[in-house]
Chain A
Amino acid sequence: MPRSPLWFCSLAVVFAALLFSQEKGDVSKGKAQGKGNNLIRPLADLEKDLRGKLERIKVHGKSLEANLEGDSADRDVFVYLPPSYHREPNRRYPVVYTLHGYGLHAEQWVGFANFASLEEDVAAGTAKEMILVAPDAFSLHNGSFYSNSQTTGDWETFLAVELVGYIDSHYRTLANRASRGLVGHSMGGYGTFRLGMKHPEVYSSLYSMSACCMLDTGEVTPALAQMEAIKTKEDAAKVPFGQKSPLARAAAWSADPKNPPLFFDLPVKDGKPQAVIAAKWMANSLMVMLEQYASSLKKMKAIQMNVGLQDGLLQTNRDMDQALTQAGVAHNFETFEGDHNGQVGLNFATKVLPFFSAQLAFGPEVKKK
């Protein structure tokens, strides 16, 4: 069985673990939690067993054009088509859009979530055939945070409008919100809530897996203070993966078109906190966005969120669960035995895919008379 070298898998798990370590403000924790086991299934291995088809396409994002940090506006997108897709040329399918975490590429995410498990689920009767889509949001500083920034591009519009438009016009989808779901892990869980808040007309069900960024205060931690020394793209390229996420957040949340070559401001300058910039990070936190977008989330047919009991993000996810309850937004919150990364594949197979199979509309929309 062809396998990528072990270091590849371990490294990728390190990437996914980064966010967690950054949120704790403790760089030393930025180590692999998966102990080098193969949490990320190599694509060649995954494809070998597939009865359906995994297409790798490029989708151009007009909303991403001219982003100041120079990320490509032509994005890799993986599209999984179930086995019956080519056999039944008139059948249309619901689509689940999936968002990867910080430090990952879409290619790794497809193996991390293990899209192949959908076929096992279908065989076992726990899920139904659907299309899965995974856009790549890896950026100069390893992750776009799915935000709307002139420095990284307008990821909200790219994903909710352009990508959905592209998939609906190139594949046999059930092109309505009742048949569209959104799921993501970590930074992708953040993106799931964010896009759900801003575009309730596009998606009808949300699944947040171990979401990050519930309340980012822009507090000047040692890790953040170190970032002041980074002045150029070359400096940034040398920053170890485990310490890079503040650069990505600044690019996503505190863009500054007048501050080349990185085009962002940090919540720290000359060692002193910058309240105006910290406010921008705060304003992009899900916990504080919630009240202004409660009316959007209330339109969802179903919202599910989970987090591992050994995940450093446990408490902030519990806080979000409570905040959603307080705001009167119907949702389910679930914890599981595990850390930030170890259960992603298992949860995708046993929780996420069955959830969307139950919540999405698998037939044409019935118009109300």
Chain B
Amino acid sequence: MMHCTRVLAALAAFAACVAAQTSTPSAGTYSRIKVHGKSLEGNLSGEPADRDVSIYLPPSYQSQSNRRYPVVYLLHGYTNSDVGWFGPESRGSFANGNTMTAAADRAFIGGGTSELILVMPNAYTMYQGSMFSNSVTTGDWEGFIAKDLVAYMDSHYRTIPERASRGLAGHSMGGYGTVRIAAKYPQVFSSIYILSACCLTASLNPNPQSSAKAEALKSPEEARGAERGLATLLAEAAAWSPNPQKPPFYFDLPAKDGKLQPAVVAKWVANAPLAMIDQYVPSFKTLRIGMDVGDKDGLAASNRELSRVLNGYGIPTAFEVYDGDHTNHIVDRMEKVVLPFFAKTLAAR
């Protein structure tokens, strides 16, 4: 009898083990939550301080209830949003069901990439993008991501709440944000990946006519759905030359009545990473850095220059120029290069 019980127990244990194996989810879990940004409170544009955030938990997260994971914070590009990467409104290379969720599943299941938690806040604003800057008009987006969002994740999910296990990456405007936030908060992240970063340089002599359409607008409501050129100008003005004394837009434009405003131009210039990066070399020296850009992207030259400047300071960048344009390979790069980069550089337990 005793013997029989033991055999049964052993069989039961074996069965349970098999069941556990087979019940390991074959996919990660996606959810969209709201996170309050104390750093965004009181912004003059009236942007909600409660932001949508897309969260991807890797396949083993549900079954291994004591396991903790490194986290990669992802920043999307201008005019895009978190759902443009994760669905349902996925676009560009993420379109047709090839979402960030699908790409992460492929990387983590059989792709040989160690599991990571992925987080992407929605930075789509009334002017179609926050520029991830620190502005009284748009809000302190640097603080929102590096402080508020990180604190939220560390207190609500099984993260490894340490710098060594935190990465930051972004595409285009998000690549720009990655450079900015890494420069200012090197104590929060240990690895960054910059994809096709925008806005690395700024002109000292922009076209004085460029502000004309923006000057003609009477209210922020009129700016809704503005064409990309105009919207970009508004987003940059809100992020880089805020003016709390100037309702209803609360920003200054780089030109007024066809005349350049040098003080405003100077502020835009100061927000260009290639103008400010020399003051943040110690930050970048503490980071592992990956960078890439498509050879047919108009931003290839400025990204090459950023890599050259960092290399000049003795900072390696693992910089790669690949066959592609500004958007057509981002999901592949994420799956095959960026996630594996973080799986290697971030500390797991």
A interface list, Cβ under 8 A from B: 63, 147-150, 154, 157, 215, 217, 253-258, 275-276, 278-280, 282-285, 287-289, 291-295, 326-328
- Give chain B residues whose Cβ lies under 8 Å from the Cβ of A284: 270, 279
Residue pair A294, B269 in contact (C-beta under 8 Å):
no
Interface residues of B in 237-271 (CB under 8 A from A): 240-245, 262-263, 266-267, 269-271
* Contacting residues, chain B, for A287 (C-beta < 8 A): 263, 266
Q: Please give, as numbers and ranges, the residues of chain A lying within 8 Å of B134 by CB-CB distance.
A: 291-295
Which residues of A are found within 8 Å of B135, using beta-carbon distances? 291-292
Asked whether, in the complex, the Cβ of A149 is within 8 Å of the Cβ of B245, the reply is no
**Can you add 8 more A-B contacts, CB < 8 Å, to A149-B281, A294-B136?**
A215-B266, A279-B201, A279-B269, A283-B272, A283-B276, A285-B266, A287-B266, A295-B134
Q: Sorted from nearest, which 5 A-B pairs have the closest CB atoms?
A: A283-B270, A279-B275, A288-B270, A283-B275, A288-B266
Q: Is the CB of A279 within 8 A of B241?
A: no
- Cβ contact within 8 Å between A257 and B313: yes
29 contacts across the A-B interface (CB closer than 8 A) = A148-B281, A154-B282, A215-B266, A217-B262, A254-B278, A257-B312, A276-B274, A276-B275, A278-B204, A279-B202, A279-B269, A279-B275, A280-B275, A280-B278, A282-B266, A283-B269, A283-B270, A284-B270, A284-B279, A285-B270, A287-B263, A287-B266, A288-B266, A291-B136, A291-B240, A292-B271, A294-B136, A327-B242, A328-B244
A residues in contact with B279, CB < 8 Å? 147-149, 253, 283-284
Interface residue? B152 (CB, 8 A): no
Using a CB–CB cutoff of 8 Å, the interface residues on chain B facing chain A are 39, 133-136, 140, 143, 201-204, 240-245, 262-263, 266-267, 269-272, 274-276, 278-282, 312-314
Question: Residues of B contacting A254 with CB < 8 Å?
Answer: 278
CB <8 Å contact, A279 and B274: yes
Indicate which residue in A148, A257, A282, A326 contacts B280 across the interface (CB closer than 8 Å): A148
- Inter-chain CA distance A147–B278, complex, in Å, is 10
* Complex Cα gap A289–B241 (Å): 10
Q: Is the CB of A291 within 8 A of B241?
A: yes
- Of the listed residues B136, B240, B269, B279, the one surrounded by the most CB atoms of chain A closer than 10 A to its CB is B279
Give A276 to B201 CA distance when docked, in angstroms: 8
- Provide the residues of chain B in CB contact with A215, threshold 8 Å: 263, 266
Closest A residue to B240 by beta carbon equals A291
In whole angstroms, how far apart are the Cα atoms of A216 and B272 in the complex? 16
Least Cβ–Cβ distance between B287 and chain A, in angstroms: 15
The docked-state distance in angstroms from the alpha carbon of A328 to that of B43 is 13
Q: Is the CB of B270 within 8 A of A289?
A: yes
B267 contacts across to A, CB distance below 8 A? 288, 291
Q: Is the CB of B269 within 8 A of A288?
A: yes
**Nearest CB of A to B261, in Å:** 12
From B241, B270, B312, residue with most partner A Cβ within 10 Å: B270
Contact B282 A282 (CB under 8 A): no
> B271–A150 contact, CB under 8 A?
no
Task: Take A63-B282, A282-B275 as given contacts and tell me if A256 and B266 are in contact as well, using a CB distance cutoff of 8 Å.
Answer: no
Contacting residues, chain A, for B314 (C-beta < 8 A): 257
Q: Is the CB–CB distance between A258 and B312 below 8 Å?
A: yes
Residue of A nearest to B262 (CB): A217
B204 touches A279 (CB 8 A): yes
Max chain A CB contacts within 10 Å: which of B202, B262, B274, B282?
A: B282
Smallest Cβ-Cβ distance to B274: which chain A residue: A276
Say which residue of A157, A280, A295 sits within 8 Å of B140 (CB atoms).
Answer: A295
Would you call B282 and A327 a contact (CB within 8 A)?
no
- Nearest B residue to A294, CB-CB: B136
B272 nearest CB neighbor, chain A only: A279
A359 to B94 CA separation, bound complex (whole angstroms): 55
Kindly report which residue of chain B lies nearest to residue A256, judged by CB atoms.
Answer: B312
Q: How far is it, in angstroms, between the C-alpha of A84 and the C-alpha of B314 when the chains are bound?
A: 50
- In the assembled complex, the Cα of A217 lies from the Cα of B267 at a distance in Å of 11
Does B266 lie within 8 Å of A291, measured CB to CB?
no
Question: Which chain B positions have C-beta within 8 A of A258?
Answer: 312
Please measure, in the bound complex, the distance between the C-alpha atom of A263 and the C-alpha atom of B244, giving whole angstroms. Answer: 40
Residue from B140, B270, B274 within 8 A of A282 (CB atoms): B270
**Chain A's nearest CB lies how many Å from the CB of B143?**
7
Known: A253-B278, A278-B204, A326-B243. A295 touches B143 (CB 8 A): yes
In the complex, the answer to whether A255 meets B266 with C-beta atoms within 8 Å is no
Chain B, Cβ-Cβ closest to A326: B245
Query: For the complex, what is the distance from the CA of A279 to the CA of B271, rounded to whole Å?
Result: 10
CA distance A354 to B236 in the complex (A): 42
Q: How far is the CA of A254 from the CA of B279 in the complex (A)?
A: 9
The minimal Cβ–Cβ distance linking A1 to chain B, given in whole angstroms, is 45
Q: In the complex, are the beta carbons of A326 and B244 less than 8 A apart?
A: yes
Neighbouring A residues of B281 by C-beta, 8 Å: 148-150, 154, 255
Complex Cα distance, B270 from A249, in Å, reads 16
In the complex, which residues of chain A have a beta carbon less than 8 angstroms from the beta carbon of B262? 217
A193 to B202, CA, bound (A): 25
In the assembled complex, the CB of A210 is this many whole angstroms from the nearest CB of chain B, namely 21
Cα distance, A289 to B204, chains bound together (Å): 16
Name A63's closest neighbour in chain B (CB-CB). B282
Q: Which residues of A contact B203 (CB under 8 A)?
A: 275
Shortest distance from the beta carbon of B326 to any chain A beta carbon, whole Å:
23
Q: Measured between alpha carbons, how far is A291 from B251 in the docked complex, in Å?
A: 11
Give chain A nearest CB distance to B252 CB in angstroms. Answer: 9
Chain B proximity of A21: nearest CB distance (Å):
23
Residue of A nearest to B283 (CB): A148
Instruction: Specify which chain B residues have a CB less than 8 angstroms from the CB of A288 in the assembled complex.
Output: 263, 266-267, 269-270
Closest Cβ–Cβ distance, residue B337 to chain A (whole Å): 28
Contact of A327 with B133 at beta-carbon distance under 8 Å, contacts A148-B281, A257-B314 already known = no
* Chain A residues with CB under 8 A of B269: 279, 282-283, 288
Bound Cα distance from A292 to B135, whole angstroms: 6
Nearest B residue (CB) for A255: B278
- CB-CB under 8 A from A275, the residues of chain B are 203-204
Assembled-state Cα–Cα distance A293/B271 (Å): 12
Q: Measured between alpha carbons, how far is A253 from B280 in the docked complex, in Å?
A: 11
Residues of A with C-beta under 8 A to B266: 215, 217, 282, 285, 287-288
Complex formed: what's the CA distance from A295 to B42 in Å?
12
Q: Which residues of B contact A150 (CB under 8 A)?
A: 278, 281, 313
Q: How far is the CA of A323 from the CA of B4 in the complex (A)?
A: 86
Check A295 against B275 for contact (C-beta < 8 Å): no
